[in-house]
Amino acid sequence: MKRYSAFAIAREAFRYHMGWERAWASPEPKKKYDAVIIGAGGHGLATAYYLGKNFGITNVAILEKGWLGGGNTGRNTTIIRSNYLQDPSAAIYEKSRSLYETLSQDLNYNVMYSPRGVMMLAQTQHEIRGYERTAHANALQGVDTQFISPERVKELVPIINIEGPRYPVLGALWQPRAGTARHDAVAWGYARACSAMGMDVIQKCEVTGIRSEGGKVRGVTTNRGEIDCDRLGIVVAGHSGQLADMAGFRLPIESVALQALVSEPIKPCMDVVVMANTVHGYMSQSDKGEMVIGGGADGYNNYTQRGSFHHAEETVRALCETFPIINRLKMLRQWGGIVDMTGDRSPILSKTPLEGCFINCGWGTGGFKAIPGSGWGFAELMAKGTSPLCDAFTLDRFREGRFIDESVAAGVAH
Ligand SMILES: Cc1cc2nc3c(=O)[nH]c(=O)nc-3n(C[C@H](O)[C@H](O)[C@H](O)COP(=O)(O)OP(=O)(O)OC[C@H]3O[C@@H](n4cnc5c(N)ncnc54)[C@H](O)[C@@H]3O)c2cc1C
């Protein structure tokens, strides 16, 4: 793989950009791999990348039924933060955030990480208590967050109305090194790096069955034939329940659609990410100038990937209170993704009852930020059978009552 560099851009400019090579190969599946990952979203691709980079396991296939990054990874609102409450969460999300800081250099692919700062508004006394508690927990965990005053909120976000008609802004949980990254680029960067290591990223390859023998995984059945493997990673977000069913076990997961929308582009007016959990909405401004707006999840289980009018209306109505200037904006597009929600709002990174088969799911509304950290830990789990980043997030915790409650950190906030 040729490296991208300023020199390469200059060279290609002189030869009419005819010398760029394909970013990743499109191989036919082989009969057998050391490891197969189902799902070429960010988490699946990152797992494959760190299997190769950290453990030298490169005989790997990543199977994707659609196009890579076409699931939630390419549909999210790109918020990256690590201000969670519980220690295991802070560890994996902060590892992830710190990997994002240098991901472009690591992958030699610009993922446009922008540590512009993320604030979660406190608009009730209950939220003040919750976020102050999180700020104290973060201080002990070594995660840099602060609880800031309404005046500081206004200084950072001049377009905000801190006196809101229903809910005035009473303060905010502020993480200065949190931010955003370009979601497609994260998937593309990992895919290119995996392909460069000799791994097979195979699109339009749907897994329709999981084969086992004597309680151990043998391989998968796909619409492109049977593929054997020694280790299998299921990393399919909203489809986790279906794949677990194929492998013969059940998951404590509900799949629901989560929606988002963007406005027409406007001049730069807000250079941080703001989340308002009480009125239920959050917003940032993309590099193109669009206001990227996220709302809540559907109240019923479903597998749609579309937006719906009532969500757009509810979310925009809520945000108009906090940001009156968006009253006159036209909304351009809305869409949905199928998110995989656990009861304690924490992910599952775990061995499964089927030997050799591992599962990474349950990131729900907030897994984009976790892609590098999750890939790092899950690769270790698949390679060594244990990982300090993953060991608290086992499937067993739901049976044993060891919940990792992140309902305050997860809520509407992604
Ligand atoms: C609207 C919206 C906004 C969000 N905002 C944020 C945010 O701001 N910040 C944040 O951190 N997170 C956010 N999230 C959540 C985040 O997008 C997800 O947690 C994360 O992208 C999950 O990544 P993944 O790789 O696990 O799943 P996905 O990207 O969904 O990848 C799974 C892949 O598996 C494939 N697959 C499924 N079944 C099969 C099969 N049988 N065979 C082969 N392939 C299969 C799918 O096609 C898919 O490509 C948001 C999500 C949505 C929908």
pLDDT tens digits for range 131-155: 999 999 999 999 999 999 999 999 9
Whether 296 shows a pLDDT value over 90: the answer reads no
Q: How far is Cα 248 from Cα 352, in angstroms, rounded to an integer?
A: 10
Q: What residue has token string 């917003």?
A: 283
Range 251-271 average pLDDT: 96
Bridge partner residues of 171 (DSSP)? 122
**3-class SS at 326?**
helix
Per the model's pLDDT, the better-predicted residue between 387 and 279 turns out to be 387
The more confidently predicted of residues 305 and 60 is 60
Closest listed residue to residue 387, CA positions, set 354, 347, 353: 347
pLDDT tier, 305 (very low <50, low <70, confident <90, very high otherwise)? confident
Cα 71 to ligand 1 centre (Å): 5
Average pLDDT over all residues of the chain: 95
Phi-psi region of 2 (alpha: psi -120 to 50; beta: other; left: phi over 0): beta
pLDDT band at residue 411 using 50, 70 and 90 as cut-offs: low
The CA 123 to ligand 1 mean position distance, Å, reads 30
Ligand 1, from 62, 64, 72, 188: best to mutate by most atoms within 8 Å of Cβ?
72
Give span(s): CATH 3.50.50.60, the chain.
30-82+85-108+183-252+344-410
Main-chain dihedrals φ then ψ at residue 125, nearest 5 degrees: -60, -35
| Distance of alpha carbon 230 from alpha carbon 413, whole angstroms | 38
Q: Write the CB contacts of 136 (distance below 8 Å, at least 6 apart in sequence).
A: none
pLDDT classification of 37: cutoffs 50, 70, 90 = very high
Res 165: pLDDT: 80
pLDDT score of 410 more than 80: no
pLDDT over threshold 70, residue 282: yes
Q: Is 64 in the pocket of ligand 1 (CB under 6 A)?
A: yes
The burial of 287, by beta-carbon neighbours within 10 Å (0-12 exposed, 13-18 middle, 19 or more buried), is given as exposed
By alpha-carbon position, which residue is closest to atom 19 of ligand 1?
367
CB 312 within 8 A of CB 261: yes
pLDDT of residue 147: 98
pLDDT of residue 307: 83
Dist CA 339 CA 366 (whole Å): 9
Q: For residue 409, which of 346, 336, 316, 341 has the smallest C-alpha distance? A: 346
How far is the CA of 192 from the CAs of 99, 197, 406, 413, in angstroms?
A: 17, 9, 33, 30
**Between the CA of residue 199 and those of 21, 24, 50, 105, 190, what are the distances in Å?**
17, 10, 12, 20, 11
Q: Ligand 1 pocket: which of 232, 368, 378 to mutate (most atoms <8 Å of CB)? A: 368
Split at pLDDT 50, 70, 90, the class of 414 is low
Checking if the pLDDT of 409 tops 80, the result is no
Which percentage of the chain shows pLDDT scores above 70? 99
DSSP secondary structure letter of residue 232: E
- What pLDDT sits at residue 413? 56
- Residue 367 CB–ligand 1 contact under 6 Å: yes
Tokens matching residue 288: 């193109």
| Residues 131/122, Cβ–Cβ less than 8 Å | yes
Q: Kindly state the tokens that stand for 354.
A: 């089927």
State the distance from the centre of ligand 1 to the C-alpha of 184, rounded, in angstroms. Answer: 11
**What was the pLDDT predicted at 359?**
98
* Residue 154 to residues 54, 149, 209, 273, 318, Cα–Cα distance (Å): 44, 9, 54, 13, 18
Band of residue 164 on the pLDDT scale cut at 50, 70, 90:
confident
Record: fold of 118-178+255-341: D-Amino Acid Oxidase; Chain A, domain 2 (3.30.9)
Cβ of residue 39 lying under 6 Å from some atom of ligand 1: yes
Specify the pLDDT at position 299.
Answer: 85
Q: Give the mutation target among 76, 113, 201, 275 for probing the ligand 1 site: most ligand atoms within 8 A of CB.
A: 76
Residue 391 Cα to chain centre, angstroms? 20
What pLDDT score does 283 carry? 96
Averaged pLDDT for residues 322-347: 94
For the segment 110-130, the average pLDDT, to the nearest whole number, is: 96
Average pLDDT score over residue span 219-245: 98
Atom of ligand 1 at shortest distance to CA of 67?
A: 49
Q: Does residue 259's CB lie within 6 angstroms of at least one atom of ligand 1?
A: yes
Q: Compute the distance between CA of residue 16 and CA of residue 9 in angstroms, rounded to an integer.
A: 10
Confidence of residue 16 (pLDDT cuts 50, 70, 90): very high
Task: Compute the C-alpha angle 365/68/333, nearest 5°.
Answer: 55
The secondary element (H helix, E strand) that includes residue 382 is helix 371-384
Q: Give the CA angle between residues 39, 47, 179 to the nearest 5°.
A: 95
To the question of domain 30-82+85-108+183-252+344-410 being in CATH 3.20.20.70, the answer is no
Query: First vs last Cα of the chain: how many Å apart?
Result: 35
What is the tens place of the pLDDT at every residue in 338-365? 999 999 999 999 999 999 999 999 999 9
Q: For 357-393, write each residue's pLDDT tens digit.
A: 999 999 999 999 999 999 999 999 999 999 999 999 9
The answer to whether 233 and 61 are in contact (CB under 8 A) is no
C-beta atoms surrounding 391 within 10 Å: 13
Over residues 250-269, the mean pLDDT reads: 96
Task: Decide: 177 in ligand 1 pocket, CB within 6 A.
Answer: no
Domain with CATH 3.30.9.10 in the chain: 118-178+255-341
